[in-house]
Amino acid sequence: MKPLVQPHFEASIEPARFWLWVDGVGGFLVCEGAECTIGQPVGAGVDVGILADISSRHAVIHRRQDDYVLEPLRPAAIDGRTLAGPALLADRSTIQLGESVQLAFRRPHPYSNSACLALASQHRTSPLCDGVLLAGDSLVLGPGQRAHVQCPAGSVEIVLYRQHGQWFCRADGPLEIDGRPTAGGGPLGRASRVVGPDFSFTLEEAG
């Protein structure tokens, strides 16, 4: 059995994040790093800020290749089981932080190592978003249950993928990226606008 991550309490570097605004669906915070720190939205080093009675650095989710591990820095539980140390997350796990914050963890696509987080309790993120995407090698937007961002009105599956730190997108059919027609995809920048036959989305740098 491969060892889980060892607990650490050092402040992380400034979060690597961007916004994915999907027209007609919502705004999603994309966390690119292999670590995602969750806590109160105060100070630097917190990727996902939640307005609730939790610590400023309450827990860290680590991506280790195809696995996700929750490291509790303060009281936390997975599916009702209180954690004494780092523990693996499974698809559809429920994470509890403190007394009342609950997050739904999802791994929807069998061929992607990305994951989704959504608040399952009556709390809000700050800044407000419709969901958090823990980005591995690819993100899928589309109408099916396998999509990281479900677009009910869409008819095609759009894949965002990264290579050597650069994000790209591809889809079956013509796309327009930053006003330029492309035959199925191309590279994306931090302020790119992508338009397809029945979908459109924008990337934006997260502060």
Which residues does 56 contact at the CB level (< 8 Å), separation at least 6?
39, 40, 42, 43, 46
pLDDT attached to residue 197: 86
- pLDDT tens across the length of the chain (207 residues): 333 443 433 333 445 899 999 999 999 999 999 999 999 998 777 999 999 999 999 999 999 989 999 999 999 999 999 999 999 999 999 999 999 999 999 999 999 999 999 999 999 999 999 999 999 999 999 998 999 999 987 778 999 999 988 999 999 888 999 999 998 899 999 999 999 988 899 999 987
Q: Which residue has the tokens 């999907």?
A: 22
Cβ–Cβ under 8 Å, residues 51 and 73: no
Residue type, 119: L
Pairing of strands 131-134, 26-31: parallel
- How far, in Å, CA of 132 to CA of 129, rounded? 7
pLDDT attached to residue 15: 56
- The Cα diameter of the chain in Å comes to 53
pLDDT attached to residue 112: 96
pLDDT attached to residue 7: 40
Nearest 5 degrees, angle CA 110-CA 111-CA 116? 65
Instruction: Write down all domains in the chain, each with its CATH number in brackets.
Output: 17-31+136-207 (2.60.200.20), 33-134 (2.60.200.20)
Under the phi-then-psi rule, with left for phi > 0, alpha for psi from -120 to 50, and beta for the rest, what region is 87?
A: beta
